Amino acid sequence: MKSILLTVLVACIATFTFAQDLNTAQINRCSSYEVFQRMLQSDPSFAKNQQSIEQFTQKFLSRGGTSSMRTTIGTPVYTIPVIVHVVYHTTAQNISDAQIQSQIDVLNKDYQKLNTDVGGVPSVWTGLVADCQIQFCLATVDPSGNPTTGIRRVSTTKTSFSDNDAVKYTSKGGDDAWPAADYLNLWVCKLGGGLLGYAQFPGGKAATDGVVITYTGFGTVGSAKSPYNLGRSATHEIGHWLNLRHIWGDDGSKCTGSDLVDDTPNQGGQHFGCPKFPFVSCTNGPNGDMFMNYMDYTDDRCMFMFTNGQKSRMYATLVTGGSRHSVTISGKCASQVAAVSNNAVIPNIISVVPNPVNNGSAAVSFKLDKAAQVQFIVSNVYGNTVSVISAGNQSTGEHQIRPSEFARFENGVYVIKLLANGQQLGTTRFVVNK
């Protein structure tokens, strides 16, 4: 009996070790933090930029973060155009358009709380789950203004890449980045050493800005391999690109590190596989670690949430003045057009005061170079016209009107266009928050 038990025990240990090897030793889920540290050491401007980004973030958070914006719209406020660089050595690495689309679909679900597995969040945390209101689209306009599919395919002689950024340079066997101020660059290639992906935090060089994902951890079909075949590597890495840290605070398994987010529990170390809830560390009982957060290392099927605090931290990069704001207004994909016009292309020509409009009354200020018949068109975030306001004939110079129509606008985000003799002169975005 004893010897049978021992045999079973040995077999169990062997299996356990093997499983551990599969999950930990052969897989390097993410090297963003190592890249972050490397950049801090080697690039003084990155260190300086990160510092001011953090200051801006803390200021945004101290004012209440996204809750201070109190937008009531049910659709994404921010749309991020994506250029996917497929850098392939083998046919299998030249992943299909369908696989790329499957990844974009995952991002649009995960960043809008539309993922069906969100039901797996333990009930103690369901109140923290954020609809991040961030949407992704394949670019439809290239840097020269020509139409594009948002996908580039480049063959390479390199059999694999690492996190040394070679994949981001045509001269090093990769593919040059598109302007980082306008696009999220997403490289798909074979990463060596079991590395699934890495991202560059905000504040770094444009030439290396973006996210790299290995071709077996990208999307949900084709070459995507279990347990990393639900597109969560990109969800996780784009979190870093939007300035999120790992949920355990990157301090090994100690309890001193922080992810700089208030509503995530203090957590010892990272988790692999699919832990059972609750897993207590750092005296964070009874609920324990939030290992089902996208910023942990669990298997794709076991991570399914961002918190409101993480959303606020990401928003600090996307709002006006934020380090990623320019991407949200670049106009590089068709579905972003409405959002483009939400920020004044010519800022001084039209403005709404106060903004947010808080009691149904607001002044629209505008400037004319010559006398014209003036009209305003107000549209919602879906791009639907909600009001056409006629301001009659107006002379050259600055004007201010108080349209009565503002009183009937529901809470939300709107775009107002200034038309002079039927021609658009400028646009701006305003928020109604009664």
Query: Where does this chain bind Zn ion (CB under 5 A)?
Result: 30, 32
Q: Least distance from C-beta 211 to Zn ion, angstroms?
A: 10
Closer of 303 and 339 to Zn ion (Cβ): 303
How much is the CA Rg of the chain, to the nearest whole Å? 24
Answer yes or no: 237 catalytic.
Answer: yes
H-helix or E-strand spanning residue 376: strand 372-380
Q: Longest C-alpha distance within the chain, in Å?
A: 100
Q: Least distance from C-beta 274 to Zn ion, angstroms?
A: 18
Angle at 135 between CA 323 and CA 38, to 5 degrees: 40
What sign has the CA pseudo-torsion 149, 177, 54, 260? Answer: positive
What sign has the CA pseudo-torsion 384, 327, 191, 157? Answer: positive
Q: Least distance from C-beta 111 to Zn ion, angstroms?
A: 16
Label residue 249 left, alpha or beta by phi (over 0 means left) and psi (-120 to 50 means alpha).
left
Residue nearest Zn ion, CB atom distance: 30
Closer of 30 and 213 to Zn ion (Cβ): 30
Contacts of 158 (CB under 8 A, 6+ apart): 87, 89, 166, 173, 174, 189
Closest among 108, 57, 114 to 82, alpha carbons compared: 108
Catalytic residue among 34, 54, 237, 405: 237
* Structure letter (DSSP) for residue 37: H
Q: Least distance from C-beta 61 to Zn ion, angstroms?
A: 21
Q: Least distance from C-beta 237 to Zn ion, angstroms?
A: 7
Q: Least distance from C-beta 167 to Zn ion, angstroms?
A: 17
Q: Distance between CA atoms of 316 and 65, rounded to whole angstroms?
A: 7
Residue 277 burial (C-beta neighbours within 10 Å; 0-12, 13-18, 19+):
middle
Residue count (the chain): 434
> In this structure, what token pair is assigned to residue 299?
């298997």
Closer of 30 and 129 to Zn ion (Cβ): 30
Q: Least distance from C-beta 228 to Zn ion, angstroms?
A: 13
Closer of 34 and 369 to Zn ion (Cβ): 34
Go through 280-295 and write b for each residue having 16 or more CB atoms within 10 A of its CB, e for each that does not: ebbebeeebbbbbbbb
Closer of 32 and 57 to Zn ion (Cβ): 32
Q: Least distance from C-beta 148 to Zn ion, angstroms?
A: 29
Contacts of 179 (CB under 8 A, 6+ apart): 143, 206
> In this structure, what token pair is assigned to residue 203?
């504040």
Single-letter residue type at 239: G
Quick check: 310 and 113 in contact, CB under 8 A? Answer: no
Q: Distance between CA atoms of 241 and 229, rounded to whole angstroms?
A: 21
Q: Least distance from C-beta 208 to Zn ion, angstroms?
A: 17
Listing DSSP states for 410-433 in one string gives PSEEEEEEEEETTEEEEEEEEEE-
Quick check: 294 and 306 in contact, CB under 8 A? Answer: yes
Closer of 233 and 330 to Zn ion (Cβ): 233
Q: Distance between CA atoms of 123 and 144, rounded to whole angstroms?
A: 49
> In this structure, what token pair is assigned to residue 327?
């991407």
Enumerate the active-site residues: 237
